[in-house]
Amino acid sequence: MTPRHLISGPAAFLLLARAQRRISLRALFMRKSWITWFVVGFVALYVTTTLLTLGFFFDKFSRLAVPDVPPVRVVNQYLLAAFLSLFFIRFLFQKTPRMKIVPYLHLPISRRSLAAFFQVSSLATVHNAYPLLFFLPFWMRFVVPEAGGAAASSWLFAVLLLIVASHFAILFLRSTLQQRTGLFYALTLLLVVTAVIDEWLGAGLQRTLSEFLFTDILRGRPLGTVWLLAFTLLGVVLSTRTLLKGLRPEPPAPAPARPWLRLPRAAERLLSADWGTEGQLIRLELLLMWRNRRPRHYLIISLLFSTMYLAFMLGPGGRITGAGMSAMVGLFASGGFILNYGQLMFGWDSSYYPALVTRNIAFRTLVKSKLVVLQASCVALFVVSLPLFVLLAPEQIGVHFAFLFYNAGVTSVLVMELAARNRQAVDIGRSGGFFNYEGLSSRHWIWFIPTALPPVLFMIAMDAHQELALAILATAGFASILATNLWARYFAAGLRVRKQRMLAGFREGSP
């Protein structure tokens, strides 16, 4: 199509804006139960109130942690660390605009115009909005009185640049790493090792750089702002280029040989042994997890969460405080695989679930094999993350031990309750996109609240008796592990009742 037949830029933007407005309204009001509205509204109100309160009264909170340091200096020290933490959260949940562009490729609108519109419209996300709930009141209350109008405006502009730079850096990484996931794993491992060394040695390079950069901006020097502006523009250019490249059709490339996916011979012989029906189901689960891209992503991400976040939270610069935070660390340290992979425990089998249930395999055996996999994952993550506790926070080793039993016994059961109700198909052969959320619904995100909240609230309530609280949690988990056969019968009864609905849901969602 020649350029003269294309819709002009302003007209194209207006057309796309109207279409996106309709799509957003339909997605907002369609198929939402009152429970979903209540939970989402409560969480939004809670987060908004918390961030606004923290911004307006930050001096009272900072005085408890660092009493002799002014509030502005405290924020300047931890700005880069805060956005680095948000960076990983955004990486998990922020999506690229490519899939939104695809339905409009047949229209007489240039791909550059489509990319420009959706790049700009992608800024309208909660990930960019909720940091402002803290920074705007903090800026008005503390930065403006201390630095004056001009310097305070430069500081706020630098924070906005940091938000935008983080946004487009995520778009660039997600677009690039869909085909180069090994690069992501290597960079993340390098970041973890660097963070652990920095925190273990107490160098505090990240805090020093952050304080230097934003304190320099408050002094009226433009170098820091220019550096952030250049980084932001680089992110915009790179993310736009990768987006345009992803819109160009390319011939399918032959699947590369991946000999590294083959297990060692000793492991192959072990998995090939005759373990009985339950053992063979465990073997199939492990092979599915290792040989398919999306389940393997969940496995690797669980390993990264059990090391990466612990490195930041357990280090001297990010030392965890409070019983509630200790509980969160315990949950993720050994239960990260359950919370990620376990939610789709039956969805992974959706492509061959009809054949599975027609075989002479009892539902109780099927459920127990999956429970054993989840319980064993807690032991594996416990071993992986234990050196971090020994090096960075030896006083938290008791929490780590207690939550090993709690996650294996209780968290696995709570997540299995959700997984046993899956009715959305997951095509593990086709859905290889990085952090694809196929098969997940709003209840999967909401379910994290009743899973994580009880141990957190219990640890907070028992703050004066932490050893007793950990003993109770460990005992409850150990008792639940002993009752694995009872849990298997309970979930098997539910699967028999929901068998036809699950089969229908998997069939409707299959390609």
Amino acid identity of 494? G
User: CB–CB of 477/410 below 8 Å?
Assistant: yes
- Report pLDDT digits (tens) over 167-207: 888 888 777 766 566 666 666 667 666 665 665 555 567 77
Say which range, 27-41, 80-94, 144-158, 284-298, has the weakest mean pLDDT: 27-41
The residues, ordered by sequence, that sit 6+ positions from 87 with a Cβ below 8 Å of its Cβ are 166, 169, 170
In whole angstroms, give the CA distance from residue 302 to residue 289: 12
Q: Over 158-199, what HEC string results?
A: HHHHHHHHHHHHHHHHHHHCCCCHHHHHHHHHHHHHHHHHHH
For helices 448-461 and 466-482, angle between their N-to-C axes, nearest 10 degrees: 140
Mean pLDDT of all residues in 113-135: 86
Domain extent listing, the chain: 11-22+33-247, 276-509
pLDDT of residue 169: 86
Q: Which of 156-165, 264-273, 353-362 has the highest mean pLDDT?
A: 156-165
pLDDT of residue 436: 52
CA 52 to chain centre: 24
Residue 362 backbone phi and psi in degrees, to 5: -70, 145
Say which range, 81-95, 234-248, 396-410, has the weakest mean pLDDT: 81-95
pLDDT of residue 314: 63
User: CB–CB of 444/371 below 8 Å?
Assistant: no
In whole angstroms, give the CA distance from residue 457 to residue 455: 6
pLDDT of residue 266: 52
Long-range contacts of 348-353 (CB under 8 A, 24+ apart): 348/288, 348/295, 348/426, 348/428, 349/288, 350/422, 350/424, 350/425, 350/426, 350/427, 350/439, 350/506, 350/509, 350/510, 351/425, 351/426, 351/427, 351/428, 351/429, 351/506, 351/510, 353/502, 353/503, 353/506
State the average pLDDT for the chain: 77
Mean pLDDT of all residues in 27-43: 66
399: exposed, middle or buried (Cβ count in 10 Å: 0-12, 13-18, 19+): buried
Tell me which residue of 459, 435, 330, 430 sits closest to 389, measured CA to CA. Answer: 330
